[in-house]
Amino acid sequence: MPVSRTERLLNLLIALLNTQYGLRRSELRVKVYHDTSGNDVAFGRMFERDKNDLRQFGFDVETVTDHGWSEDDPATTRYRIGKESNRLPDVQLSPGEWTVLLLASQLWERAALGTAAANALRKLQASGTLSDVELPEGVQPRIRPAGQAFDDVVAAMHAQHPVSFPYLAGTTGREEQRTVEPWGLGSRFGQWYLTGYDRTRNAPRHFRLSRFTGPVTVLEKETYTPPAGFNIRAELDRLPELPLRTAVVDVRKDRLLGLRRRAVPVPAGSAETPDGGDDRLQVEFRDTGVLAEELASYGPDAVAREPEELVAAVQHRLRAAAAFCAAPVPDYRFDEPHRGRTVRKRTSEDQLKRMLQLVPFLVHNQGLHIQDVAARFGITPAELEDDLRILICSGLPGGYPDDLLDIHWEEGHVYITQDLDLTRPVRFTVDEACALLTGLETLNGLPELAEGGALESVTLKLMAAAGQEGLRAASLAGPEVGPADSAVLDVVRQAIRDHLQLRLVYFSAQRDQVSNRDVDPLRLYSMDNTWYFEAYCHSARGLRNFRLDRVQEIQPNGNPAATQIRPEEGFPAKLFTPNDDDTVVLVQLTRQGRGLADDYYAERVAPLPDGGLVAEIRFGSTTWLPMFVAQHGGAARILEPAELAAAARSWVEAAVARYGG
């Protein structure tokens, strides 16, 4: 969508909003489109596309026909947009409700729904402010979505298009192509599940996203109708948990302390003798795929022996990783400068949506500095000025001074004096309603937020404001975000409040060792139900992130925490803290694995023709990167530095060799 089309759609929208009786197609053709080509068929197709685009942006284009005439006659058919039908109702929120809402929107930080949540939040901010909101230090939850497949399925589900994808069946172990009408997407037992009508089996089925073995194809020319009243949370509540099983694993001497902590030795004489230098262990598990991913990451340090399906799953992952490491390096180019965590290229559709939010935001926030406005919309000041230049050239047909949007910026401060009835934001889209309402429902798992009434009241207000679109939030369900064990969390939270130093015995999975640490805790946060705390570590002399489930012992050591130490800027907290001595690594990701670029805060990305990308990522420690490559089983590999790429390839090949090929 080139810029000229952006301007045309904006002018068409303003014209249809500011007419009481409607405008005929011939009038719009002359006054808005300035089309004198005489090709009625081409203009008709373009006009229909534009009407559909406006509907996708949330505006209902009404058709008004003179009494006694047919809609098929363009000469007697007029078009307009009702000023109330498409507008978001006013939603007045208290500071407590704003706090809960901001936490809900930040849940989707690294998914496409994160963009939708940010858009919805800006619409609500058009008549309010977040200046009085203080975010709690101990409650910063986030959701880890299931990569690109998650975004593709959500988009297809909301547009009601079927999807097709290759799937590794859990019952047969065979890869099959499935075509599914997606009804709902939700998280249970630490996994994301798609529920829908399987056209291959002619019956409803559940599909685990981690078993998708290739990209999702959206069948955009087909549509379907989901069952009335479908609720994915209720469906997944009936899904039985997998039974507890036992795996047999050979582990090299004095290695993999984390695995040993939850394993038991195999009784002597109960099985064949392991290879020299190995210990044979029994490990309880429920999900073959989850344990296979873990064992693959251990490379040659661990070999699965039983059951057979686990052995096959680990081998499949390792062989895929080895094949990817040996593949030719693709041509790539970084076209953009360092740009933080986002990897999605901005489109002109994004620009038009942003401008429709920008006008009401400026109306209610007069005089903000251009840098503050740009930061609120997640763009650069230069991009914002491009938006403003388009806006000031847009308006009613005729283009007289009073017919144009009047926006000016003096000494960096932005003002708007002519808004052409764009003072209220457009209603929520399905994505926006689902992002916020699903986020609020997910927060119910945190008792400190569920109590007090703010969570319930803001949910009711948003349901009323979202209307019909809010009802479709039942198609999405987030994971449990409450901590599995609150004892360590309570100790850390109290130490943060009292500014006390903590002494802990901590297991580092990357270094495969246990160490004693004195730390000054700064804040708590979570990813799904895995909780972390950020702290200044006196041993490392820097900020570090610690997983609560890897803390073996913890207690105050009697010293006050240093008052001058502050957490990293930004909300929510990041899992990785950059340092000056970090190593810059080039990682190639497939289409299925491209979400890892966001997970590890890629600084630059270079898109590839197959949907994958090359990402430039900073790592403080690189010794565990071979484990990273093996774990992701053909979805990620190291390109540079060359010695790291060689180390990862050798690690994976050594693991494959231990399985006999």
Is the confidence at residue 74, as pLDDT, over 80? no
Instruction: Look at residue 615 in the predicted model and tell me its pLDDT.
Output: 93
SS3 content of the chain, % helix, strand, coil (to 5): 40, 25, 40
Q: Which parts of 302-365 are beta strand (E)?
A: 302-306
Instruction: Look at residue 392 in the predicted model and tell me its pLDDT.
Output: 80
Cα end-to-end distance, the chain, whole Å: 51
Range 67-90 average pLDDT: 71
**501/518 Cα distance (integer angstroms):** 7
Is the confidence at residue 329, as pLDDT, over 90? yes
Instruction: Look at residue 401 in the predicted model and tell me its pLDDT.
Output: 62
Integer CA distances (angstroms), 67 to 62, 70, 73, 77, 78, in order: 15, 8, 12, 10, 12
**4/532 Cα distance (integer angstroms):** 48
Is the confidence at residue 66, as pLDDT, over 50? yes
Instruction: Look at residue 628 in the predicted model and tell me its pLDDT.
Output: 93
Neighbour tally for 31: CB within 10 Å: 16
Range 158-184 average pLDDT: 87
Indicate the range of 116-120, 269-273, 275-279, 428-432 predicted with least confidence.
269-273
Is the confidence at residue 655, as pLDDT, over 90? yes
Using 50, 70 and 90 to split pLDDT, how confident is the model at 83? low
Is the confidence at residue 341, as pLDDT, over 50? no
More confident residue, 67 or 54: 54
More confident residue, 73 or 218: 218
Top mean pLDDT of 60-69, 118-127, 219-228, 364-373 is at 219-228
**456/443 Cα distance (integer angstroms):** 10
Top mean pLDDT of 310-324, 335-349, 375-389, 459-473 is at 310-324
**131/523 Cα distance (integer angstroms):** 21
Nearest to 626 by CA among 613, 618, 638: 638
In the three-class reduction of DSSP (H, G, I as helix; E, B as strand; rest coil), residue 648 is classed as helix
Indicate the range of 279-283, 322-326, 590-594, 612-616 predicted with least confidence.
590-594
Instruction: Look at residue 352 in the predicted model and tell me its pLDDT.
Output: 77
Is the confidence at residue 607, as pLDDT, over 50? yes
Range 5-29 average pLDDT: 84
pLDDT in tens, 542-583: 888 898 888 999 999 999 988 666 665 555 556 666 666 788
Percent of the chain with pLDDT over 70: 86
Instruction: Look at residue 652 in the predicted model and tell me its pLDDT.
Output: 95
Backbone angle region of 411, left / alpha / beta, with phi > 0 → left and psi within -120 to 50 → alpha: left
Contacts of residues 282-286 at CB distance under 8 Å and 24 or more positions apart, as own/partner, are: 282/246, 282/247, 282/248, 282/249, 283/246, 283/247, 283/248, 283/249, 283/259, 284/244, 284/245, 284/246, 284/247, 285/244, 285/245, 285/246, 285/247, 285/310, 286/189, 286/241, 286/242, 286/243, 286/244, 286/245
DSSP β-ladder status, 175-188 and 476-477: parallel
DSSP β-ladder status, 583-589 and 551-560: unpaired
Instruction: Look at residue 327 in the predicted model and tell me its pLDDT.
Output: 94
More confident residue, 72 or 438: 438
More confident residue, 370 or 398: 370
**128/612 Cα distance (integer angstroms):** 40
Is the confidence at residue 426, as pLDDT, over 70? yes
Instruction: Look at residue 340 in the predicted model and tell me its pLDDT.
Output: 45
**313/325 Cα distance (integer angstroms):** 19
Q: What is the mean pLDDT of the chain?
A: 83
As a whole number of angstroms, the longest Cα–Cα distance in the chain is 93
Percent of the chain with pLDDT over 90: 27
369 has which bridge partners? Answer: 413
pLDDT in tens, 239-265: 888 889 999 999 998 889 889 988 888
Reported as half-sphere exposure (CB side, CA atoms, 13 A), residue 537 has a value of 16
Instruction: Look at residue 339 in the predicted model and tell me its pLDDT.
Output: 47
